[in-house]
A and B are shown apart, each in its own frame.
Chain A
Amino acid sequence: MDKQNLPIPLTKTPGAMPAWRSTVSALELHSVCAKIKDDGGRMVALWGTDERERGDGFAVHVALANQFGLICMKLSISESSPEYPSIDDLFPVASRMQRALYDLLGVRAQGASDQRPWLRHGAWPTEVFPLRKEVDVNADYPAGKDDYPYVQVTGSGVHEIAVGPVHAGIIEPGHFRFSVVGERVLRLEERLGFKHKGIEKLAEGMSISEAARLAGRVSGDSTVAYAWAYAMAVEGVAGFTPGLRSLMLRALMLERERIANHLGDLGYLGNDVALAFGFSQFWRLKEEWLRTQHDLFGHRYLMDCIIPGGVGCDLDAVGLSRLHAEADVVEQQVRNLQDIYHEHAGVQDRFLTTGRVSPSLAAQMGLAGLAGRASAQALDLRAQFPAAPYDQLEVNIVTQRNGDVAARVMVRFDEIYESLRLIRLILAKLPDGATMQELPPVPDNSFGIGWVEGWRGEVLIALHTGIGGAIHRLHPHDPSWQNWPLLEHAIIGNIVPDFPLINKSFNLSYSGQDL
């Protein structure tokens, strides 16, 4: 790839998405990251592997996206000195990923601005690193002391409000530490990792087919995106391309998942500004939507419908016309409700200018996905790197510039309409053919990438195969890693009672980032 103009040799990674890999030195890692950043690229993910049984110490992997696709760099690190140069000076979003990498693999980012633990609270001792191969997944460590040093804000009249991990609603657990003066928030510090349940370590003991179920449960609300990304990674490694019918059905399910989540969020955003009417209306639509999925695909949230090799469900003529009719009804209903939200003075008063992330801050911090698009970041894998079947669908990227709650609401409305258009197009174009084909065995010691634009943002699956169809390492990356730090910025200067609304407007995954 000469046009890439990068000073490192690149090898194309086989698979549906444009991705390259390269082995770099410690110096090159930082300088290539800097170059990609200067050229307008962004950071996607960072993870580590234990390569000692292959005679190669540890390795740190960094995935960046530029205008051509994904660049995956691998830096080998010796066991005796497990360190690598921090890149959080270039990409602030790297900070938490680097801290998590230390907690799990014991590989430290040299020069990082923050060396506190991230995913390790007290479940395992400081000298144990679960992703090292000698650590038993079932090890039972006595609960350790958890003494996390939060950043303290001092000054006249400043006090702290500590919230969580158990929140006052039906929400995932995490801790929020607000420093406030009166009602106004000076600073928010998040602490996550409460849900860490060892997903990456579990995957290492699984076969390729077993791990498909696990991938679909990294973040339940994005099960389709994860299952597709996982299947894409496996199929890439195996050198297999699924038939067009199964790919179309995958896209159909991905768009349906997007709409289901957007409907739910729009309902809760109404609820959070005291318009219970909005909750009832949107969740009524969502519930019908889920029932259709149960009837036609066998699962309300489409779990386990996408598997490596194709899809585990099919659509007949009756189902096809039901989906068509449903799309028309939902479009009409959502347009009515958008009118009502738009004209409701109380709703608009709460939505507008609340929780703002400016386009420049979004670009600097790497705000991803839906929230990024609401802050003028025109990034959407379905449009930028349209893998089949999106190459036939011409996805329109939805963007807003204001970066406030209102903008994130508008993006959700417009993405529902765009996804409904895509669903109609898919139903019209759906070709005949097999939905499931036998997958060739995956080669030993290979590397595959799955990269899918889920409803929240880009989901990445990095798959390192071991020997005889086993998994050496599986790393799922949720876009919430990118967006949680921006929530800390979005709340600054807002009042405490607006936090639930702002939080909901991002609706980030805890499970997806706690792993």
Chain B
Amino acid sequence: MYKILHQILRTGIQTETPPEANPDYRTLDAQHLHEKILNCLGRALVIRHVDAGSCNGCDLEIHALNTPQYNIEGLGIKFAASPRHADLLLVTGPVSRHMTEALKRTYDAMPEPKLVVAVGDCGCTGGIFGESYASCGRVANVIPVDVAVPGCPPTPTQLLQGILAAVRNT
């Protein structure tokens, strides 16, 4: 136990280090983003994620949102295990034909009002996989999409910006 406490103390609070290397992201520093999200949501947004056929790159960046640096739960946003508890559906990948049914059912299981954010180049346009005998292409070909966040994969900050954009539309 001593070692855990020691490590926690030594590590300090790591939350909020927006990726400063890219000036394009400067328009929204983390503090600013936190404030806007809290203004819109009060304190809660529940997200359900569905991977509809990604290469798993976008999914890695969604995991990264849970790191101390982005501290998404500190913003009142959390991921739910059930679509019935979710306000927003985050969809990665082109939608493979084998996943269309599961994606539609997940969407249908969410209570109204509901939001959908399509993630990554594949979610936005079908990306490199496009439409084929096996792929329906972009998420909007299967369910209504409110916001599409491009990138291969989009960074955690871009994902946060996309989630925010969806919430502000309502």
Contact = CB atoms under 8 A, between A and B. Distances in A.
Nearest to A135: B133
A280 B21 CA distance: 23
B66 A123 contact: no
Given A172-B56, A173-B102, A291-B21, A197 B135 contact: yes
A197 B93 CA distance: 10
A358 interface: no
B125 interface: no
Interface stretch (A7-15, A212-220, A378-386): A212-220
Contacts of B52: 173
Nearest to A200: B134
B68 A220 contact: no
Range, interface on chain B: 35 or more
A217 B3 contact: no
A194 B98 contact: yes
A143 interface: yes
Interface in B37-74: 49-64, 66-70
Given A123-B133, A172-B56, A283-B66, A300 B155 contact: yes
A130 interface: yes
Contacts of A168: 81-82
Interface string A333-367: 00011011001100000000000000000000000
Contacts of B50: 166, 173
B54 A198 contact: no
B77 to A, nearest CB: 13
Range, interface on chain A: 35 or more
Contacts of A130: 133-134
Contact of B67 (A124, A217, A284, A337): A284
B8 interface: yes
Contacts of B153: 220, 300-301
Contact of B134 (A170, A198, A303): A198
A171 B68 CA distance: 20
B19 A291 contact: yes
A169 interface: yes
A191 B11 CA distance: 42
Given A201-B133, A284-B68, A173 B128 contact: no
Contacts of B62: 170
A264 B100 contact: no
B63 A170 contact: yes
Interface in A314-349: 336-337, 339-340, 343-344
A193 B63 CA distance: 23
CB-based closest 5 A-B pairs = A220-B57, A168-B81, A198-B134, A123-B97, A220-B55
Given A173-B102, A220-B57, 13 more contacts: A124-B134, A135-B133, A137-B133, A139-B132, A169-B49, A195-B51, A195-B54, A196-B96, A283-B67, A300-B61, A301-B60, A303-B152, A510-B56
